Amino acid sequence: MPALFIIQAQLSPDPEFMARYKQYQAQVQPLMAVHGGKVLAIGRDLEVMEGHHDGQRLIVLEFPSMEHLKAFWHSKEYAQIKPLRENGAQVQAWAVPTMT
């Protein structure tokens, strides 16, 4: 059963951090693909249907299963690149199993 990985992130505008974050993006996307992950949506410009949006970036990823998602998140390869986004990104992350 597929799983969604929903991430909300607020990034520091600091140029040094943004340079590291670009390195993070370049490395994390191929690693996600190894684990079957794909990007479904990224952005701040979303349409609020009810409630409010705090303006943070929202990222929605899909993995073939919760096991694939967890294998990615807990991999030693991800642990090696994760510091590139730390100390500049406030992140909330949720793993959500789908109903299909």
> In this structure, which amino acid lies at residue 11?
L
Q: Is the pTM of this model over 0.85?
A: yes
Q: Is the pLDDT of residue 100 over 80?
A: no
pLDDT in tens, 66-85: 999 999 999 999 999 999 99
pLDDT of residue 49: 94
User: What pLDDT, on the 0 to 100 scale, is given for residue 63?
Assistant: 98
21 CA to centre of own chain = 12
Question: Comparing C-alpha atoms, which of 49, 90, 65, 57 is closest to residue 4?
Answer: 65
The pLDDT assigned to 55 comes to 85
Render pLDDT for 24-63 as a digit per residue (tens, 0 to 9): 999 999 999 999 999 999 987 888 999 998 888 999 999 9
Q: What is the pLDDT of residue 87?
A: 86
